[in-house]
Amino acid sequence: MKIFSYLTLTLFLLLMASLTACGSSANAATVEAVPTGDPIAGKQLFMSTCAACHSPDGKGLPGLGKNLVASEFAAEKNDDELVEFIKAGRGPDDPLNTTGVTMPAKGGKPSLSNEDLYNIVAYIRTIRK
C-alpha cells in the first residue's frame, strides 16, 4: 500500500509540475506575424517591374539583370533581407554588381509597397531551382 501511495504522490507532483510549466496564454510571449507574400500577385508585379532586366522567366538578360532562377544571392537571403535589398537597389559601384548597371530602388517603381515587395519575393521563390 505504501508503494502505491508513493507512486500516486509522485505522479500527482509530476502532473502539477508539468501544468505549472505550461503557464497560461496570458503569460506567453507575443509572436509577431511574419510577412508573407502572394506569388500570384507577385508574378504580375514582377512582369511589370522586374522582367525588363531579369526577363519574364527570371533568367536575366545579358548585361542587365541577373539570373534569379539560379541566384545564390537570392537563395541565401531570407524574405526580409531580399525585400530590404530590393528597396535599396544596387549601384554600379557596388563591388557585388557584376553587370555595372544600376538596379534602381524598388526596380525603379517607388510606388511599390512593402506588401508588393513581399509578393515579388514570393514569386521569385517559386521560380528558383
pLDDT in tens, 16-74: 555 444 444 444 445 555 568 999 999 999 999 999 999 999 999 998 999 999 999 99
pLDDT of 13 over the 90 cut: no
Measured N-to-C along each axis, helices 114-127 and 79-88 cross at an angle, to the nearest 10 degrees, of 120
Q: What is the CATH code of the structural domain delimited by 39-127? A: 1.10.760.10
pLDDT, residue 10, reads 56
pLDDT band at 129 (very low <50, low <70, confident <90, very high): confident
pLDDT at position 126 is: 96
The larger pLDDT score, comparing residue 129 to residue 125, is at 125
Query: 69-111: per-residue pLDDT in tens?
Result: 999 999 999 999 999 999 999 999 999 888 899 999 999 999 9
| Predicted TM-score (pTM) of this structure | 0.72
Picking from 38, 53, 54, the residue whose alpha carbon sits closest to that of residue 117 is 38
Residue 2, pLDDT above cutoff 70:
no
Question: Which three cell numbers, joined as nine digits, stand for 122?
Answer: 514570393
Query: What is the rounded end-to-end Cα distance, in angstroms, of the chain?
Result: 66
Q: What is the pLDDT of residue 33?
A: 54
